[in-house]
Structure 1
């Protein structure tokens, strides 16, 4: 049996005269964490939305996962529902409340089940969004720049949390990000997209947890920034 969870083959997507995706081929396997880098407008989020089943206008072959779940930059919580109810939304099964409480505990919000979204910080709201995705035990987790709206310290904490959650639940992951360092710290594979095509695909055989100042992380960071058109020293972030 194939361990490919999600794939696209010869994928094209056009909006009016704008050819956003141009023959994309990609496979993501069980438990694999793939980060997708690229400049704004290169087609990253369009590819993610297609794999999530949110955009059905593409041409080509798409296998988006049996149970995909998506976390966006905006947590998209319902402000009139408490934290637990937001996580329970659409969830089925007699043990659904127990499952939701368990996952909220995993993201560090076991004591905030009755809170309203407005009572939470930005980082806490994003943790609720992660809990809402993971409680469904997805085989494919799609992350669309989930940390980009967070401050630097909260972002580091959120990255560490996602790493722990992915190791515990083992979904296949596709994460769209502009942050090269984030990709290198979290992913098993790093892809670079340019003008609707994947132009670079590298595997990271590096032990975890990874350090930002590790020589191999620094070397690859500089190389990836170069692919993205940023030719500066290793202290610059994309």
Structure 2
């Protein structure tokens, strides 16, 4: 199934803002291995795009290219003027307190005030002086989100940010990200292996296979979304089939 062209998607023009991030004919080769092969993609202000695909298909490579962390790609790339990345590993500096991790490199008139404000927004008011080792895994990931959002990025890149969390913490983190994105309205690209997660959070779901975007669908289901919503259930089954996964073999 061929990916649709977001540039001709009239719904995107009406619901979202200008194009913030784009890839045109992007190709990435490591040695003899072609990881990305002619990828075209656009993401607009306020648009949440989820990228699914098997391990090794090129998802994280595309994210790193858009983040400016990989300059070895061919083609045209626009990665936003203020991109921010949240990885699976929060990557906090253990020798810095929570507030200092969030404020690192920030240049505003009131650095500590701004960092404190964003920590409260992610539910960590009062933990400014804590060390990363004193936080749970979910709390550390909230600090990573605060560090990304404190600069008001126009492009937020999420590389499997919830995959290391337990089930209950993951649900809470997903709801938090949904709320934060609705408030700040960056363009968002989230790489995930979780089809249900993509359907619950995203405005568009893409599927990558062997370095190509092979599927692009818009998710027009009202928020907040329920896992048992008939449209979510139906699309989950279709996407699992596209990914070559037997739905009967997946957890309920």
TM-score, reference length from structure 1? 0.98
**Which of 40, 58, 65 is equivalent to 1:50?**
65
* SS state at 1:222 partner: helix
Aligned residues: 237
Aligned to 2:116: 101
- Runs of 4+ deviating beyond 4 Å: none
- Secondary structure of the structure 1 residue equivalent to 2:247: coil
Aligned counterparts, 1:145-164, within 5 A: 145-164=160-179
Aligned residue for 2:49, secondary structure, equals: strand
Q: CA deviation at 1:95?
A: 1.4
Give the alignment partner of residue 193 of structure 2, picking from 155, 178, 181: 178
Corresponding residue SS for 1:193: strand
Separation in 1, partners of 2:216, 2:54 = 16
Q: Indicate which of 233, 248, 251 corresponds to 1:218.
A: 233
Q: Deviations over 1:179-229 (max 9, x none)?
A: 000000000000000000000000011100000011110000000000100
* Structure 1 residues 80-116: Cα deviation after superposition (integer angstroms, max 9, x where no partner): 0000000010100111211111100000001100000
Q: CA deviation at 1:236?
A: 2.0
Determine if the alignment matches structure 1 residue 84 to structure 2 residue 99. Answer: yes
Is 1:21 the counterpart of 2:36? The answer is yes
What corresponds to 1:110 in structure 2?
125
1:236 counterpart = 2:244: no
1:126 matched residue in structure 2: 141
Alpha-carbon distance in structure 1 between the residues aligned to 2:250 and 2:52: 15
Structure 2, unpaired ranges of 5+: 1-16
Distance of 1:148 and 1:154 partners within structure 2: 10
Q: CA deviation at 1:231?
A: 2.3
1:203 corresponding residue in structure 2? 218
Separation in structure 2 between the aligned mates of residue 170 and residue 73 of structure 1, nearest angstrom: 22
SS state at 2:27 partner: strand
- Determine the C-alpha separation between the residues in 1 that align with 2:32 and 2:109: 49
What SS does the aligned partner of 1:70 have? strand
Deviation at 1:11, TM superposition (A): 0.3
> Using the alignment, how far apart are the partners of 2:200 and 2:159 within structure 1?
17
Separation in structure 1 between the aligned mates of residue 154 and residue 109 of structure 2, nearest angstrom: 21
Q: What is the CA–CA distance in structure 1 between the aligned matches of 2:247 and 2:115, rounded to whole Å?
A: 45
